Amino acid sequence: MSLKKYDKRILLTGGAGFIGSHMVIHLVNKYPNYLVINLDKLDYCASLKNLECIKEKPNYKFIQGDICEPDFMRYILQEEAIDTVLHFAAQSHVDQSFWSSLDFTRTNVYGTHVLVNASYEAKVKRFIHISTDEVYGGSSECTNTESSKMKPTNPYAATKASAEFMVQSYFECFKFPAIITRSNNIYGPHKYPENVIPKFICLLKNGKKCFIHGDGSSVRNFLYVSDVIAAYDVILHRGVPGEIYNVGSDFAISVMKLAEYLVKKMKGSTENVLDHVEFVDDRPFNDHRYSMDSTKMHALGWRPMVTWEEGISGTIAWYRENFNNWSYAEDALRPFPRGSNTMQLGHTSSLAKSF
Ligand X SMILES: NC(=O)c1ccc[n+]([C@@H]2O[C@H](COP(=O)([O-])OP(=O)(O)OC[C@H]3O[C@@H](n4cnc5c(N)ncnc54)[C@H](O)[C@@H]3O)[C@@H](O)[C@H]2O)c1
Residues lying near ligand X in the complex (CB under 6 A) are found at 13-14, 16-20, 40-43, 45-46, 66-68, 88-90, 92, 107, 111, 130, 132, 160, 183, 185-186, 191-192
Position 88, amino acid: F
Choice between 269 and 354, CB closer to ligand X: 354
Q: Which of 156, 224, 245, 319 is catalytic?
A: 156
Q: Are 194 and 93 in contact (CB under 8 A)?
A: yes
133 carries an active-site annotation: yes
b/e map 43-66, b = 16+ CB within 10 Å:
bbbbbbebbeebeeeebbebeebb
Give the phi and the psi of residue 247 in degrees, each rounded to 5: -125, 95
Q: Output the smallest distance, CB 141 to ligand X, in A.
A: 21
Least distance CB 271 / ligand X (angstroms): 27
Is-catalytic flag, 164? no
Residue 181 Cβ, how far from ligand X at the closest point, in Å?
8
Q: How far is the CB of 212 from ligand X (least distance, A)?
A: 19
Q: Which is nearer to ligand X, 18 or 211 (CB)?
A: 18
Pick between residue 300 and residue 345 the one whose CB is nearest to ligand X. Answer: 345
Which of the residues 134, 164, 194, 260 is marked catalytic? Answer: 134
CB-nearer residue toward ligand X: 92 or 162: 92
Kindly name the residue from 133, 227, 260, 287 that is annotated as catalytic: 133
> Is position 44 annotated as part of the catalytic site?
no
User: Would you please indicate which residues are annotated as catalytic (active-site) residues?
Assistant: 133-134, 156
